[in-house]
């Protein structure tokens, strides 16, 4: 059986530590052997120094000792001095005899650590002698040195000093050995501590690596593999299925737009913030995971009821939609959430995830910021969406889109002031596909920039044949600003088609202005400097405020059709319309009222002093062939009432060249 790599590393470290300890021990032994010569030399030097010191000191004590030679005893001061000297040297014993051989004084081994002074004179009689020279000699050989101190008359004192060089050498060697042992022990302990610390760090590193391997590096939450493992585990637990659980698939919208417009750093910041908000909305028993890209997933245990799961999804959606601060301005996200419940929608991981994905596709089909819970109808919606995707991709590949034009009427004279170019897609059964269905899909598939360029080019090529003063308006998706090439693309199209820049109007929505990034505003200003009018579309919806008109100098605003439709039976809507119209006049901005469908709404628009109007009352969007008759039509009668054109009055217009 092969050991793990980390275990082999630890074993190698232990072997190295043992080898190093043995080498250090050998070095200590060699040091002790080599130090014997040094110790012997040191003992000889110290003994010779002590002999010289004693000789000098006895010479100084000679007068005092000579005066008492006949008395057979030494003065107290002399004895104290000799005791002090023994304590300061390596003499282990001293014998003093008179000239006739009588022992005058003797003392065995006063240690250095117990030197005596004059204060100890009274304690001399109580001195506890150390081992005698004979006892010391039984353990180690002694070195005796005889000295003679002259006394009064013809006598002299005989002083014998005893040294124990082997004892001194042993003491020095003991100190050296002790230091070696201490050093060796410290080394072994340090090595053991190092091995233990390395093993601890290895275990911690392995534990951390195991944890990190389960997390997404960017957001710090579990990744797809961890999500699947956890869901597999829960689906095999009878208790989990009995209590119920919900899984939610979350798809961020506008993420690719932010990535293109504000850069990858902003996109990464969005993902981290969304992950944090999902953790805030989750439960301790749940799991938040990033499946990849801008897709997240949530497992909520004990959440088997559809109403409870929908409430939790709504809370998550609310958190995701909150603005995200960024140096270039606030970033706003949208999302769709698909929910599947266990065991109702599946008792195994594969089925449950498939149904959650179908619910997510259903939510996307419903629009942005929508929540869908799986039902048998979700599969039908998924199949319909897949079919629509194929239709859209085929139209992009084969240029299967067309443009229809809806007139914009000048309310001051009843003449056509311009047309709004509207993208249309025909289904295989010859029915029209709603732009609300295929335009978001173009954005999701990353095809909106290419299609957007085609729309501008086609509209400009067609509008160059119109009479002077008749303009063409084209809607822009926020994603068309992502690459930063929009002004250059428009300039190229105008040069190629020969369409005057003053004839083109570009309509942007409030969502684009909400981002307030320098990247977007710079492009809008470049387009304006080219002579193109910038129109704020659908004013009054979403997050409308006076600040938008302060942030950018728009050339025109369009009032959303919902306000026009609601004004007939809502005084609140009429009040909002009056406020918007007054605000536009204050900023000297022309106003276009959208969704005009009845004569009463025409009168309302005239009362509000809106300069332009657009709606089914005047004309539905028509193909290129029917535009000429609309340009020639006068939309007012003799009394000033607006009269829509009759189909029989529309001559067909053949466009020569593009």
- Of the pLDDT bands very low, low, confident and very high (cuts 50, 70, 90), residue 56 is confident
- Of the pLDDT bands very low, low, confident and very high (cuts 50, 70, 90), residue 580 is confident
- Is 560 within 8 Å of 498 (Cβ atoms)? no
What would the pLDDT profile of 132-161 be if each residue is shown by its tens digit? 555 444 444 566 777 777 765 556 778 887
- Distance between CA atoms of residues 628 and 565, nearest Å: 29
* Same domain membership, residue 392 and residue 250: no
Residue at 79 is within a domain? yes
Surface-to-core class of residue 196, CB atoms within 10 Å of its CB (0-12 exposed, 13-18 middle, 19+ buried) = exposed
What would the pLDDT profile of 196-246 be if each residue is shown by its tens digit? 777 777 676 666 665 556 688 888 889 888 899 888 888 888 777 778 889
* Same domain membership, residue 456 and residue 333: no
Which of these ranges, 110-119, 160-169, 193-202, 252-261, has the smallest mean pLDDT? 110-119
CA angle 97, 98, 101 (to 5 degrees): 75
Residue at 208 is within a domain? no
Higher pLDDT, 413 or 106: 413
- The structure's pTM equals 0.56
Higher pLDDT, 77 or 28: 77
Sheet order of strands, 91-97 included: 103-108, 91-97, 156-163, 143-150
Helix %, strand %, coil % for the chain, to 5?
Answer: 55, 20, 30
What is the pLDDT at residue 20? Answer: 66
Which residues are CB-neighbours of 417 under 8 A, at least 6 positions away? 408, 409, 410, 469, 470, 471, 612
- Distance between CA atoms of residues 472 and 466, nearest Å: 10
What is the pLDDT at residue 212? Answer: 55
- Distance between CA atoms of residues 4 and 26, nearest Å: 34
Containing domain of residue 278, as a range? 224-374
- Distance between CA atoms of residues 357 and 337, nearest Å: 9
User: Which of helix, strand or coil describes residue 422?
Assistant: strand
Q: Where would I find the H helices in 68-164?
A: 76-88, 133-139
| Average pLDDT, integer, range 331-359 | 90
Residue 74 has pLDDT above 90, yes or no: no
| Average pLDDT, integer, range 575-589 | 86
> Among 346, 374, 402, where does a domain finish?
374
What is the pLDDT at residue 656? Answer: 30
As a whole-number percent, the residues of the chain with pLDDT over 70 amount to 72
What is the pLDDT at residue 201? Answer: 73
Mean of per-residue pLDDT scores for the chain: 78
Higher pLDDT, 541 or 539: 539
- Distance between CA atoms of residues 143 and 596, nearest Å: 132
Which residues are CB-neighbours of 37 under 8 A, at least 6 positions away? none
- Distance between CA atoms of residues 236 and 215, nearest Å: 23
> Among 327, 352, 374, where does a domain finish?
374
Q: Which of 59-63, 83-87, 223-227 is predicted most confidently?
A: 223-227
User: Which of helix, strand or coil describes residue 460?
Assistant: helix
What is the pLDDT at residue 163? Answer: 72
- Is 599 within 8 Å of 641 (Cβ atoms)? yes
Query: Domain of 287: which CATH number?
Result: 3.30.70.270
- Distance between CA atoms of residues 416 and 631, nearest Å: 6
Residue at 498 is within a domain? yes
- Of the pLDDT bands very low, low, confident and very high (cuts 50, 70, 90), residue 637 is very low
Which of these ranges, 69-73, 219-223, 424-428, has the smallest mean pLDDT? 69-73
* Same domain membership, residue 441 and residue 313: no
Q: What tokens does 328 get?
A: 């270039």
In Å, how far are 294, 452, 520, 556 from 532, measured between CA atoms? 35, 16, 15, 12
* Same domain membership, residue 422 and residue 307: no
Numbers of helices and strands, H then E, in the chain: 21, 19
Q: What tokens does 563 get?
A: 């306000």
What is the pLDDT at residue 59? Answer: 80
Which residues are CB-neighbours of 557 under 8 A, at least 6 positions away? 535, 536, 539, 549, 580, 584, 589, 590, 591, 592
Q: Where would I find the H helices in 425-570?
A: 435-444, 448-463, 486-497, 510-515, 518-529, 546-551, 561-566
Which of these ranges, 142-146, 492-496, 648-652, has the smallest mean pLDDT? 648-652
Residue at 381 is within a domain? no
**Could you identify the residue written with the tokens 């684009």?**
512
Q: 301 has which bridge partners?
A: 245
Residue at 204 is within a domain? no
- Is 366 within 8 Å of 389 (Cβ atoms)? no
Residue at 177 is within a domain? no
What would the pLDDT profile of 155-198 be if each residue is shown by its tens digit? 677 888 777 665 555 555 555 556 556 666 666 676 667 667 77
Higher pLDDT, 490 or 17: 490
Phi, psi of 211 (to 5 degrees): -70, -45
* Same domain membership, residue 521 and residue 577: yes
| Average pLDDT, integer, range 16-39 | 62
- Distance between CA atoms of residues 90 and 49, nearest Å: 10
As a whole-number percent, the residues of the chain with pLDDT over 90 amount to 25
| Average pLDDT, integer, range 525-554 | 79
User: Which of helix, strand or coil describes residue 410?
Assistant: strand
318: number of CA atoms within 13 Å, CB side?
Answer: 8
Higher pLDDT, 534 or 280: 534
- Of the pLDDT bands very low, low, confident and very high (cuts 50, 70, 90), residue 119 is very low
- Distance between CA atoms of residues 380 and 355, nearest Å: 12
Sheet order of strands, 295-301 included: 287-292, 295-301, 245-253, 334-342, 371-373
Higher pLDDT, 646 or 550: 550
* Same domain membership, residue 368 and residue 440: no
355: number of CA atoms within 13 Å, CB side?
Answer: 21
- Distance between CA atoms of residues 178 and 497, nearest Å: 100
* Same domain membership, residue 406 and residue 370: no
Residue at 534 is within a domain? yes
* Same domain membership, residue 94 and residue 47: yes
User: Which of helix, strand or coil describes residue 298?
Assistant: strand
What would the pLDDT profile of 295-331 be if each residue is shown by its tens digit? 999 998 887 788 888 999 999 999 999 999 888 778 8
Residue 106 has pLDDT above 80, yes or no: no
* Same domain membership, residue 618 and residue 551: yes
> Among 131, 147, 170, where does a domain finish?
170
Rg (CA), the chain: 52
- Distance between CA atoms of residues 109 and 91, nearest Å: 7
- Is 605 within 8 Å of 564 (Cβ atoms)? yes
What is the pLDDT at residue 372? Answer: 92
Residue 123 has pLDDT above 50, yes or no: no
Q: What tokens does 121 get?
A: 């004179």
* Same domain membership, residue 347 and residue 458: no
Surface-to-core class of residue 193, CB atoms within 10 Å of its CB (0-12 exposed, 13-18 middle, 19+ buried) = exposed
Residue 80 has pLDDT above 90, yes or no: no
What one-character-per-residue DSSP string does 593-613 give? E----SHHHHHHHHHTT-SEE
Q: Which of 286-290, 410-414, 417-421, 465-469 is predicted most confidently?
A: 417-421
Residue 335 has pLDDT above 60, yes or no: yes
- Distance between CA atoms of residues 605 and 564, nearest Å: 8
* Same domain membership, residue 521 and residue 396: yes
* Same domain membership, residue 483 and residue 622: yes
* Number of compact structural domains in the chain: 3
Higher pLDDT, 500 or 188: 500
Which residues are CB-neighbours of 601 under 8 A, at least 6 positions away? 564, 565, 567, 568, 593, 595, 615, 617
What is the pLDDT at residue 497? Answer: 95
Surface-to-core class of residue 606, CB atoms within 10 Å of its CB (0-12 exposed, 13-18 middle, 19+ buried) = middle
Higher pLDDT, 341 or 261: 341
Q: 535 has which bridge partners?
A: 507, 556
CA angle 28, 31, 33 (to 5 degrees): 115
What is the pLDDT at residue 190? Answer: 67
What would the pLDDT profile of 605-626 be if each residue is shown by its tens digit? 988 899 999 999 999 999 999 9
What is the pLDDT at residue 171? Answer: 54
Positive or negative torsion for Cα 386, 387, 388, 392: positive
Which of these ranges, 82-91, 350-359, 629-638, has the smallest mean pLDDT? 629-638
Higher pLDDT, 16 or 55: 55
- Of the pLDDT bands very low, low, confident and very high (cuts 50, 70, 90), residue 505 is very high
| Average pLDDT, integer, range 539-549 | 61
Q: What tokens does 623 get?
A: 């193909």
Q: What tokens does 14 get?
A: 């232990």
Length of the chain: 658
Phi, psi of 524 (to 5 degrees): -65, -40
Residue at 347 is within a domain? yes
């Amino acid at each position: 059986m092969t050991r793990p790599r980390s275990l082999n590393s630890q074993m190698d470290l232990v072997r190295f530590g043992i080898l190093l300890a043995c080498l250090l021990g050998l070095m200590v032994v060699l040091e002790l052997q080599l130090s014997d010569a040094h110790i012997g030399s040191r003992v000889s030097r110290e003994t010779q120094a002590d002999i010289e010191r004693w000789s000098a000191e006895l010479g100084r004590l000679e007068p005092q000792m000579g005066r008492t030679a006949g008395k057979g005893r030494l003065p107290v001061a002399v004895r104290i001095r000799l005791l002090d000297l023994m304590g300061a040297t390596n003499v282990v014993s001293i014998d003093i005899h008179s000239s006739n051989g009588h022992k005058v004084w003797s003392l065995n081994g006063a240690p250095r650590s117990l030197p005596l002074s004059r204060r100890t004179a009274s304690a001399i009689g109580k001195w506890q002698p150390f081992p005698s020279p004979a006892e010391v000699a039984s353990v180690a050989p002694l070195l005796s040195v005889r000295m003679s101190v002259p006394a009064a008359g013809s006598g002299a004192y005989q002083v014998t000093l005893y040294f124990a060089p082997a004892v001194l050498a042993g003491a020095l060697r003991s100190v050296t050995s002790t230091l070696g042992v201490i050093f060796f022990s410290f080394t072994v302990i340090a090595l053991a501590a190092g091995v233990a610390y390395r093993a601890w760090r290895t275990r911690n590193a392995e534990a951390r690596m195991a944890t990190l391997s389960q997390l997404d590096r960017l957001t710090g939450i579990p990744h797809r593999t961890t999500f699947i493992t956890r869901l597999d585990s829960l689906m095999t637990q009878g208790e989990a299925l009995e209590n119920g659980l919900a899984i939610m698939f979350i798809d961020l919208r506008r993420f690719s737009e932010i990535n293109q417009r504000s850069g990858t750093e902003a996109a990464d910041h969005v993902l981290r913030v969304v992950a944090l908000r999902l953790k805030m909305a989750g439960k301790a028993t749940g799991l938040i995971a990033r499946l990849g890209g801008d897709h997240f997933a949530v497992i909520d245990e004990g959440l088997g009821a559809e109403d409870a799961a929908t409430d939790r999804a709504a809370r998550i959606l609310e958190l995701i939609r909150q603005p995200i601060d960024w140096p270039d301005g606030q970033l706003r996200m949208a999302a769709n959430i698909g929910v599947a419940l266990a065991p109702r929608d599946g008792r195994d991981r594969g089925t449950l995830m498939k149904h959650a994905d179908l619910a997510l596709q259903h939510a996307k089909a419903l629009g942005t910021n929508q929540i869908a819970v799986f039902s048998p109808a979700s599969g039908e919606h998924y199949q319909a969406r897949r079919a629509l995707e194929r239709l859209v991709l085929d139209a992009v590949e084969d240029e299967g889109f067309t443009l229809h034009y809806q007139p914009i009427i000048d309310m001051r004279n009843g003449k056509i002031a311009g047309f709004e170019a509207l993208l249309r897609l025909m289904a295989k059964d010859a029915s029209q596909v709603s732009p609300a269905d295929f335009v978001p899909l173009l954005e999701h598939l990353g095809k909106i920039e290419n299609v957007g360029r085609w729309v501008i080019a086609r509209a400009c090529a067609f509008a160059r044949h119109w009479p002077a003063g008749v303009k063409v308006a084209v809607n822009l998706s926020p994603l068309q600003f992502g690459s930063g090439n929009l002004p250059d693309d428009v300039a190229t199209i105008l040069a190629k088609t020969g369409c005057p820049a003053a004839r083109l109007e570009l309509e942007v929505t409030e969502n684009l202005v909400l981002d307030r990034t320098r990247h977007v505003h710079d492009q809008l200003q470049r387009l304006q400097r080219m002579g193109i009018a910038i129109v704020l579309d659908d004013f009054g919806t979403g997050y409308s405020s006076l600040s938008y008109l302060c942030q950018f100098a728009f050339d025109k605003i369009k009032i959303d059709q919902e306000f026009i439709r609601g004004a007939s039976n809502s005084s609140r809507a009429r009040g909002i319309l009056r406020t918007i119209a007054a605000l536009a006049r204050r900023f000297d901005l022309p106003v276009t009222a959208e969704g005009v469908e009845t004569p009463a709404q025409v009168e309302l628009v005239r009362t509000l002093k809106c300069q332009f109007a657009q709606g089914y009352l005047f004309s539905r969007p028509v193909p290129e062939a029917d535009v000429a008759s609309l340009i020639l039509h006068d939309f007012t009668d003799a009394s000033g009432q607006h009269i829509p054109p009759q189909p029989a009055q529309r001559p067909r217009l053949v466009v020569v060249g593009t």
